[in-house]
Amino acid sequence: MKKSTVATFAALAMSSAIAAPAMAEGEVNVYSYRQPFLIEPLLKAFTEKTGVKTNVIFAKKGLEARIEAEGENSPADILMTVDIGRLHGAKMAGIAQPLKSDILEKNIPSQYRDKDGEWFGLTTRARVIYASNDRVEQNSITYEELADPKWKGKICTRSGQHVYSIALFASMVAHKGEEEAKKWLEGVKANLARKPTGNDRAQVKAIYSGECDLSLGNTYYMGKMQTNTKEPEQQDWAKSVRILFPNTNDRGTHVNISGMLLAKYAPNKDNAVKLMEFLSSGEAQKIYAEANHEYPVLDGVEASKLVQSWGSFKADSLSLNKVADARKKASELVDIVDFDAGAN
């Protein structure tokens, strides 16, 4: 059974394997939700540096279930994914193993890694507010202000149950407590211009079309729109808005992560640890953050010039461990207030 699983992995991974030098030092198998073109430059640099061959399987969904189903026979060494919800979910599914690494602890701030060493952040993205250049005059805002009646009928967002939304709402639960977070969600719901639908870019498109004035979204979507040459209309969407970093004058803007974990039954554990430590290095952080329009977690590594052009901000120092702990309650509150029904 194990031979069959490994053979299947090899066949599927062949098209995305990164060629290794002649003196290869073994291999490492990566299950990834990050698209191949985003991580291949990193893996190529790792192979050139260490001689370790990397094999990658990319999928849009189902990798956690796959690792769980494969059990002890799984060829997976590392899972790469995004959002604290997905990383915490993988931990709860029992498909990760704890890792103690001085290098990872040095390079990755404590608020961006699991307290038990079962997941580690690689880059950060801020959950910001996109504001219409034509219809919104102010240049500062707070998340709390989204519940102010002055924004009635002017806010767009994706589903309240999406992992990106739940993480932000969980941070509000952690900061404000359950009752205040519930009141806030009710206020935001009352200000929605339409039922929550679509992805983050769809919200910016809605601002461009005049359907709303503000939207919630992750920072990297601005980069995706600004550099989209295949769909140049998205560049027009991006030009119609500017990024406001909420609460940057007090507790800071909510940030989330892209991250990684060491698979529970990693057959190439030593090489997996080498790759994880490499991904936290300054060299890899710069490559990864620029490719994804995100912010490096390693202090001292600058974001790309495009990302810097959006402005500076103070990041919320709240540990993502606390955000993970509050996710269940945040999800319950979304249902209690019937957030996805939109305003009455």
Q: Residue positions in the annotated binding site for Fe cation?
A: 220-221
Sign of the four-CA dihedral 241, 211, 333, 220 = negative
Whether the CB-CB separation of 79 and 66 falls below 8 Å is answered with: no
**Residue 100, CB half-sphere, CA atoms under 13 Å: how many?**
0
| Distances, alpha carbon 28 to alpha carbons 18, 53, 260, 277, 278, in Å | 11, 6, 14, 13, 13
Closest CA to 96 of 81, 77, 75: 77
Q: Is 300 exposed, middle or buried (0-12, 13-18, 19+ CB in 10 A)?
A: exposed
Task: Collapse the DSSP code of 88 into the 3-class scheme (helix H, G, I; strand E, B; otherwise coil) and give the result.
Answer: helix
Token pair of 143, please? 């998340």
CA 252 to chain centre: 18
Distance CA 22, CA 19 (A): 9
